[in-house]
Amino acid sequence: MMLRHLTSIKIRKKMKAVSSIIDTGALVRNMRQIRKMAPNSKLLAVVKANAYGHGLYPVAAALKDDADAFAVSRIEEALSLRTQGITKPIVLLEGFFNADDVDLVSRYDLYTAVHDLYQVRAIEQAKIQKPVHCWVQVDIGMHRLGSGSIEEITEIKRRLEASENTIKPLGLISHLSVADTPSEREYNSIQQDNFFYFAEKLKFSGDLSLGNSAGICKWPRSHTTWVRPGIIMYGISPFDDKCGGDLGLEPVMTLKASLIAVHHLKKGDKVGYGAGYVASSDTILGVLSAGYGDGYPRTAPNGTPVYLNGRYVPTAGHVCMDMMFVDLGPDSRDQIGDSAVLWGKEVPVETVASRCGTIPYELVCHIMPRVNIEYVAN
């Protein structure tokens, strides 16, 4: 069968394959909105996983006047921030992995979660110049990190308080695992009860940190000394039934691709790997310069919305590594070089995630290194 192409001899627009445009102005406005949600708490801005795909240092730098501290998962992330000039407190949410990391925690003035006796022993035995800030991590029902045993938490607290290598008073930290799950309202209340039981029973007089993004939005009781805005900081909802805009937030990331080819299709023409799309009528097919090699999900089904030239067009066929298809419709006047929004203000990332059967956290965290990152302050 002869392939039908729409070709153009016009001078084409200058194109970029895929761009992730990060609006630091929206980031700052979101942080100020979050402060209104939890006015009596300090804000521990979560910038782990490359700031959820938004850029570790640029996000921290943009928030230097609006965040009270920063939280990361890995010590390498903390050291990167310190060596680039971030001076505010930095918390290691997973603690440290190796005993010799305690020296780095001390030298770079980091805060560390402590979730087991190995970490306690490492702190006790460390030869360090300055004592370290410790937040005891308690398991209140997620069963991820920390102990749920009153005896073990008592032992951890006793030994850390007895050590010359720790700054007193100790903090207490935990995580709400179902604050975003309406069907688990009772279990969420139980988790909060458990946290405050440990805090009161063991007389923790230092800082407390419980509320995550969903807790900030919905559970005022979790607004302790510190709350930890994560996904909401980036303008994305932690709830399945809402988008960030419903919470008064703005999307920080806009993912864009370019239209690089167009083809005439006849009814019945098959598109892409595995013939994943069959034209139901004569139409015009567009090829966009983004694929799963850039972080756009291969699981996106036919009909996932893309915003192009003031309207929504549906994806068509399987997403390729470097490209994807959209059905432009029979009346398309789109030109090669036109820019398409894959997610952002016009197409909430929550919508794309829902179509793909995943969560928006995964999508923004999967932006690949070859994607062009642009920072703007609108």
Radius of gyration of the chain (CA): 24
Q: Give the active site residue among 13, 130, 267, 273.
A: 273
Close Cβ partners of 49 (under 8 Å, ≥ 6 residues apart): 73, 365
**pLDDT surpasses 50 at 8:** no
**pLDDT surpasses 80 at 9:** no
Q: Give domain 24-247's CATH number out of 1.10.3720.10, 3.40.980.10, 3.20.20.10, 3.40.50.2300.
A: 3.20.20.10
Q: Model confidence at 197, in pLDDT bands (50, 70, 90)?
A: very high
Q: Model confidence at 2, in pLDDT bands (50, 70, 90)?
A: very low
Q: What's the mean pLDDT in 242-262?
A: 98
At 6 the pLDDT is: 46
Close Cβ partners of 352 (under 8 Å, ≥ 6 residues apart): 297, 300, 304, 305, 342, 343, 360, 363
Query: Which helix (H) or strand (E) element contains residue 14?
Result: none
Q: What's the mean pLDDT in 169-187?
A: 97
- For 270-302, what is each residue's pLDDT tens digit? 999 999 999 999 999 999 999 999 999 999 999
Q: Mean pLDDT for the chain?
A: 96
> Which two three-digit tokens encode residue 13?
């627009």
**pLDDT surpasses 80 at 5:** no
CATH of domain 5-20+251-376: 2.40.37.10
Residue ranges of domains in the chain: 5-20+251-376, 24-247
Q: Give the active site residue among 48, 157, 218, 256.
A: 48
Cα distance between residue 258 and residue 334, in whole Å: 11
Least confidently predicted of 10-14, 194-198, 218-222 = 10-14
Query: Which helix (H) or strand (E) element contains residue 204?
Result: none
Report in angstroms the alpha-carbon separations of 205 from 171, 196, 198, 305, 308: 7, 12, 11, 51, 55
Q: How many residues can be counted in the chain?
A: 378
pLDDT over 90, % of the chain: 96
Q: What are phi and psi of 342, to 5 degrees?
A: -85, -40
Distance of CA 275 to the CA centre of its chain: 34
Closest CA to 325 of 296, 347, 348: 296
Q: What are phi and psi of 270, to 5 degrees?
A: -105, 140
Is 296 annotated as catalytic? no
Is 48 annotated as catalytic? yes
The model's pTM: 0.94
- For 45-96, what is each residue's pLDDT tens digit? 999 999 999 999 999 999 999 999 999 999 999 999 999 999 999 999 999 9
Closest CA to 59 of 377, 296, 366: 377
